[in-house]
Amino acid sequence: MLRSRLRAVGISAARVTEHPAPAAVRGILLDIEGTTTPIAFVTQVLFPYARKHLRSHLEEHAGETEYESLVARLREEHASASRDGETVPPWADQPLTARLAAAAAYVEWLMDRDRKSTALKELQGRIWEDGYRRRELAGDVFPDVRPALRRWREQQLQVGIFSSGSVLAQQLLFRHSSAGDLTPLLHWHFDTRVGAKTDPESYRRIASLVELPPDRVLFLSDVTRELDAARSAGMQVRLVVRPGNAPVQSDHGYQIIRSLDEIAG
């Protein structure tokens, strides 16, 4: 369109720099909730599943070394919260059944407040792992996800995940997904150990870890504050709009996609 208009006025398009061309994308970084996966899967399936199976899970694995260490970390967090004057439920160490009940009550207290406890995240991951293995859970992904991952693989793009869910939770979701095992199509998994999703430094770190210049990486998310951070770090970004997402404000200025099919690669 521009070229033909320029030709019409006798100007060679080759000599006109309208906008610098975007750098060719070599890597795609995906958010999960609201991007690859309906938000409701996390809020209405995963979180309630962890809550429902919390007590039976702790009882089932009582005595295993990892669980003793996990409960010990919960106890430390509990003591620290208590010192800070928080109204945590009471703790008991003896007998073992009381210790597990105390741990469970504290975990429920954390869940009720949506606290970002690492011990809580680890425990949730372990409960989900059992659920996926028993096929009581399957990671919900939108139908365009698998075809897009395959297409990007054919185009030799690197593809990965950046989510506030732990790397373990990410791998479980994609390994046991409604579209089969998608983990062979994913090169990277990053969680908030690399930094907050709203901090530009996190995206600089990711670009450095995957050895790509930031402007060669395209980040897709439904949250504009995350796009702000990725763009500050130099990444290309698109705002993902999916069924079930919170409405976005109209003044964000980001290019919107409603399907991963819109990313030609």
Nearer to Mg ion among residue 36 and residue 126 (C-beta): 36
Nearer to Mg ion among residue 99 and residue 221 (C-beta): 221
Check if the beta carbon of residue 246 is closer than 8 Å to that of residue 230.
no
Contacts of 203 (CB under 8 A, 6+ apart): 29, 214, 217, 219, 229, 230, 232, 233, 234, 235
Residue nearest to Mg ion (CB): 34
Give the chain as a 3 state SS string: CHHHHHHHCCCCHHHCCCCCCCCCCCEEEECCECCCECHHHHHHHHHHHHHHHHHHHHHHCCCCHHHHHHHHHHHHHHHHHHHCCCCCCCCCCCCHHHHHHHHHHHHHHHHHCCCCCHHHHHHHHHHHHHHHHCCCCCECCCCCHHHHHHHHHHCCCEEEEECCCCHHHHHHHHHCECCECCHHHCCEEECHHHCCCCCHHHHHHHHHHCCCCHHHEEEEECCHHHHHHHHHCCCEEEEECCCCCCCCCCCCCCCEECCHHHCCC
Q: How far is the CB of 36 from Mg ion (least distance, A)?
A: 9
Q: How far is the CB of 40 from Mg ion (least distance, A)?
A: 12
Q: How far is the CB of 246 from Mg ion (least distance, A)?
A: 10
Query: Token pair for residue 104?
Result: 């469970």
Nearer to Mg ion among residue 144 and residue 222 (C-beta): 222
Nearer to Mg ion among residue 191 and residue 222 (C-beta): 222
Nearer to Mg ion among residue 41 and residue 152 (C-beta): 41
Residues in the chain: 265
Nearer to Mg ion among residue 61 and residue 121 (C-beta): 121
Q: Residue 85 region, left (φ>0) first, then alpha (ψ -120 to 50), else beta?
A: left
Nearer to Mg ion among residue 31 and residue 129 (C-beta): 31
Which residues contact Mg ion by CB under 5 A? 31, 33-34, 222
Q: How far is the CB of 168 from Mg ion (least distance, A)?
A: 18
Q: How far is the CB of 148 from Mg ion (least distance, A)?
A: 16
Q: How far is the CB of 31 from Mg ion (least distance, A)?
A: 4
Q: How far is the CB of 240 from Mg ion (least distance, A)?
A: 8
Nearer to Mg ion among residue 30 and residue 103 (C-beta): 30
Q: How far is the CB of 262 from Mg ion (least distance, A)?
A: 17
